[in-house]
Amino acid sequence: MWDYTKEVKDHFLNPRNVGEIEKPDGIGEVGSMACGDALRLTFKLDKEGRIGEVKFKTFGCASAIASSSALTEIVKGMTLEEAEKVTNKDIAEYLGGLPEAKMHCSVMGREALQAAIRNYRGVGSDKKKIIDGKIVCQCFGVTEHEIKKAIKDNHLATVEEVTNYTKAGGGCGNCHDDIRTLIKEVFLEAQQEEANFEKPTQYDILTNIQKIDRVSHLLNDMIRPTLQRDGGDLELIDLDNNVVFIKLKGACSGCIGAASTMKDFIEHKLKDDVSPKLRVKEVN
């Protein structure tokens, strides 16, 4: 038997927001009955452009139902920009954790949400997950891009772990060699990134005051206006040895997507525009 947390049991036995919204703004569908898991997510925006109503229908196991229920609770009240930053880790954490072999249920929730947002935005006008790249696992229709993303995001090192997070490899096993190759590729890419990190850059020869100036400009001109549009903000607290200490404010402070905002948005932009060596750290 699976060792489920009390939160998983609660969301499985008393799922929130079950059903389907009539005339929704966005619909997302992932999985298939044949593969054992399927999820249909619908949402409607309120007058402020936030997710006012969100419902799901899931065919699957207890963790698939609990993950879908948790996802709807997490994104309710969020803007689409906030919602698309929700990760499968956020869903698993909300539930107090999921068994390793059931992590793919949280990934399915994130994919359904992204498909629904794309559907709302009319990207490809398709409510189903976009097949992004070559399919590696024919049994479960999992692509190279999805497998590499899962390996990177969750530091996976074995075929078994990849199966737990994506279902790839959980059928006939014909794709196991390809999955091993992808694990190696991600490892080599990470090593290359590390090597680039060691190379001196223009930024390294600046004085500390010049460095702070460059970082402040980017934060004030490019990042704060985006956060402020959603009622959030930030404050630069310090810069020490390539670590940028930032305090999130307003709607960003305490937001479920705060970790992703720091890593995927702020740090990403600082690395691209100022120096690849910069890291961000949140200060409370």
The two three-digit tokens of residue 1, written as one number: 């038997």
Is 212 among the residues that bind ligand FES (CB under 6 A)? Answer: no
Pairing of strands 51-59, 26-32: unpaired
Beta carbons within 10 angstroms of residue 95's beta carbon = 26
Is 19 among the residues that bind ligand FES (CB under 6 A)? Answer: no
61 flagged as catalytic? no
Is 32 among the residues that bind ligand FES (CB under 6 A)? Answer: no
In the list 32, 138, 158, 196, the residue contacting ligand FES (rule: CB under 6 A) is: 138
Is 246 among the residues that bind ligand FES (CB under 6 A)? Answer: no
d(CA 108, CA 76): 18
In the list 26, 169, 232, 257, the residue contacting ligand FES (rule: CB under 6 A) is: 169
- 174 versus 191: smaller Cβ distance to ligand FES: 174
Length of the chain: 284
Beta carbons within 10 angstroms of residue 23's beta carbon = 6
In the list 137, 150, 186, 278, the residue contacting ligand FES (rule: CB under 6 A) is: 137
The beta strand positions in 131-195, using DSSP E, are 135-137, 142-143
From 39-47, 133-141, 214-222, 261-269, span contacting ligand FES (CB under 6 A): 133-141
- 8 versus 108: smaller Cβ distance to ligand FES: 108
Contacts of 126-131 with CB under 8 Å at 24 or more apart are 127/26, 127/27, 127/28, 127/29, 128/28, 128/29, 128/30, 129/28, 129/29, 129/30
From 4-12, 106-114, 137-145, 181-189, span contacting ligand FES (CB under 6 A): 137-145
Contacts of residue 16, defined as CB under 8 A and 6 or more positions apart, other chains included, come to 69, 72, 73
Is 101 among the residues that bind ligand FES (CB under 6 A)? Answer: no
Is 158 among the residues that bind ligand FES (CB under 6 A)? Answer: no
Residues that bind ligand FES (CB under 6 A): 137-139, 168-175
By annotation, the residues acting in catalysis are 35, 105
